[in-house]
Structure 1
Amino acid sequence: MQLLPPFIFILILSAFSFRISSAVVCRNGQDAASKVAYTLTVNKYSKPGPAIFNTIEAAINTIPPNNDQWVRVFISPGIYNEKVSLLQYRHCIFLEGKGHHLTIITYNDHEETDQSATFTSYVENLIVKGITFKNSFNRQGYLDFYNKRTKGEVKIKQAVAARIYGDKSAFYGCGFIGFQDTLWDATGRHYYKNCYIEGGVDFIWGTGQSIYEDCLINATAGTLLSPDSVSYVTAQGRNSSGETSGFVFRRGIVFGTGRILLGRAYGLYSRVIFHNTILERAVAPEGWDAWNSKWHEDKLTYAEVDCKGPGSDTSKRVKWMKKLRPSELYQFSTPRFINQDGWLDSQPLS
């Protein structure tokens, strides 16, 4: 993860404000069972036809601009070695795989953080179900290859698996696999349910306003680097008290190897909450790192509420970790934090 110039943040936040005000509403289609207008199928092994495509990008490109009906893109089992981009002028897209172990989109770009993502979405109203997004650059095979070339020097670079800009984006049973900067939760309201997220350095980061529910969080620095390496799960980028962004983890498990810190402050007002989550033994006693907010820790909102497991003992946590009252925690519930207008309730999930 690179520190982005202030004007980049201004552009991102401006674009986000425009999307919120545009308030795209997706209409249900004619299919009474699934509520979609029509389905496109991606199968890399089939002969292309009127609604059958060999690549995901080819299928996406047929969806008309300013679409306002739900369109399903069904992605058959397979490993799709391609970069996929969903542009801002397309809306109401439902990407569905056969399960995150069976439908995998992978690439290994790593030269520039903001260009490296295997999957990028600017779409307002997005559903993704049963798909893994992977950036393979920092995986063990690549590390072994580069270590041989550099005589043992570990080569780690920012390599994003997915970056999500669009408001009202939901992911169900998906996987996000990388090492540094795996999931760029950039801007907008996002919901992640029953997902698997893997990485080692700042692997969930950005200025999104997001809830992660029942997710498996696997920190791997101790495996891919050295046994005593530190994994940073989050690097949340909230930069003022007026910003609504933040990451909320509810239930789920944080586990892995080495020493795990739950977050470090990418923004001066960084906000991350773990609620009723199982924290395994590798979670370090101090729990958190002020990083860019050192000497301004009072502005941070890092909290653990009703967590369980061998790593949940807070007696040795950083002294500036917040304690939330029930009324404060309620502000971070799904209805209050991301679903104020009921967008999650109107999704066409079969």
Structure 2
Amino acid sequence: MQKAFPFCILLLLFISTTSFADIIRLQVAQSGDAPFRSIQQAINSLPDNDTQAIIQISPGVYTEKIYLTRNKVALIGAGADKTEIRVAELRTNWLKQHPSDWGAAVVNIRASDIALLNISIVNSYGELTGDNEHQFAVRGFEQATRIITANCRIIAGGADTLSLWNKTDGMYYHDNCYFEGHTDMVCPRGWAFFSNSTFINKKAYATLWHDGELNEQQKMVVRDSHFDGVPGFMLGRRHYDAQFYLINNQYSPNMADKPIFRHTYPTEPEHDRANLWGDRYYFSHSDNKQVVYHWLKANLAEHPSQLSPEQITAKWTFAGRWDPEQQVKMLLQLNKE
């Protein structure tokens, strides 16, 4: 037994060393003080395997589009106020010369287990031209799930700022982020959890949008966050079956007295989407000051499962299939080492 003890210690040390060795770390700096000057160059150098990759991005404004097709990549900046990826692109302009949205965003994701941390991502087309039509800052495609943004600024000068569109099994986690845009500026398909974030809507129309038509359990959760925008901005809408949970948020007086609504086509009913599960909009507040309109009244207790605000967590949102909070902690710790 005494001989086995040192062997066990050595085995544990080997496992620990191996786990840390199995991390790829790359550095990017425009100054040339790192192996790569561009983010995409660093991404393209990664081996085609599932080893976790961390790409550390030095301060600067990187005017390049990002294409992520490899799983398990974390882009980590020096801070949202220091590291920025900025491109001007209007979706309709892009589609005039390309067959799909692939490349229409600043950050284009066709992979899973992707993290965007401590960074700003800006589509400046609307800012430069005044055209506020669809322009993606981040666009996730059908294969993209388990996507994380934390400590980020995600901004577009038009609609659909953050568009993660894997409607089959997409899971997305967002914490401590600033989102800015126009109509449907945050519009996930699948399961999405937002916390400790700020939403600024530059248009007097819907801020949130959700598509949950393929699974009754798909949902969009926003908690402990702040909503503001131009006078008359609206909280949210849907075209498809959807499920919204708004927990302990703050709402600006600029928000319109307009409940979350289902968008339909009265003159073209054939374009209406199915409405299998009806309106599912749940609210809870830490104080009654946020009930500025009757439709904001707390109704979480009326949920079929009689939920409490404390139950509405990331783990609950994803039904225990994914622990993004632990993933963020791990990635940020690895970034320090």
Question: TM-score scaled by structure 1?
Answer: 0.75
Pair 1:57 & 2:57 matched: no
1:305 maps to which of 279, 284, 290: 284
> 2:27: which partner in 1?
41
Instruction: Tell whether the 8 Å contact from 2:300 to 2:307 is kept in structure 1 after alignment.
Output: no
> 1:159: which partner in 2?
135
Instruction: Tell whether the 8 Å contact from 2:301 to 2:307 is kept in structure 1 after alignment.
Output: no
2:161 partner letter: T
2:51 maps to which of 69, 76, 94: 69
RMSD (Å), alpha carbons: 3.0
Structure 1 segments unaligned to the other structure (5+ residues): 1-26, 144-154, 222-229
> 2:107: which partner in 1?
119
C-alpha change, 1:58 and 1:293, in structure 2 (3 Å) is same
Structure 2 segments unaligned to the other structure (5+ residues): 1-14, 267-271
Instruction: Tell whether the 8 Å contact from 1:28 to 1:348 is kept in structure 2 after alignment.
Output: no
> 1:341: which partner in 2?
321
Of the structure 1 ranges 276-285 and 327-336, higher mean CA displacement relative to structure 2 is found in 327-336
Q: Distance in 2 between matches of 1:219 and 1:30?
A: 46
> 1:232: which partner in 2?
206
C-alpha change, 1:94 and 1:286, in structure 2 (3 Å) is same
- Aligned pairs for 1:178-257 within 5 A: 178=156, 179-187=158-166, 188-221=170-203, 230-240=204-214, 242-257=215-230
Q: Distance in 2 between matches of 1:28 and 1:337?
A: 31
Q: Distance in 2 between matches of 1:137 and 1:216?
A: 21
Pair 1:136 & 2:124 matched: yes
Q: Distance in 2 between matches of 1:79 and 1:132?
A: 9
Identity of aligned residues (%): 19
Q: Distance in 2 between matches of 1:270 and 1:71?
A: 34
2:80 maps to which of 100, 105, 111: 100
Q: Distance in 2 between matches of 1:203 and 1:218?
A: 9
> 2:12: which partner in 1?
none
Pair 1:271 & 2:243 matched: yes
> 1:6: which partner in 2?
none
Instruction: Tell whether the 8 Å contact from 1:274 to 1:307 is kept in structure 2 after alignment.
Output: no
Q: Distance in 1 between matches of 2:288 and 2:177?
A: 20
C-alpha change, 1:100 and 1:293, in structure 2 (3 Å) is farther
Instruction: Tell whether the 8 Å contact from 1:28 to 1:37 is kept in structure 2 after alignment.
Output: no
Instruction: Tell whether the 8 Å contact from 1:106 to 1:118 is kept in structure 2 after alignment.
Output: yes
Q: Distance in 2 between matches of 1:276 and 1:68?
A: 38
Instruction: Tell whether the 8 Å contact from 2:28 to 2:39 is kept in structure 1 after alignment.
Output: yes
Instruction: Tell whether the 8 Å contact from 1:285 to 1:317 is kept in structure 2 after alignment.
Output: no
C-alpha change, 1:211 and 1:305, in structure 2 (3 Å) is same
Instruction: Tell whether the 8 Å contact from 1:39 to 1:73 is kept in structure 2 after alignment.
Output: yes
> 1:225: which partner in 2?
none
1:167 partner letter: T
| TM-aligned CA deviation for residue 325 of structure 1 | 6.0
1:161 partner letter: A
Q: Distance in 2 between matches of 1:285 and 1:311?
A: 13
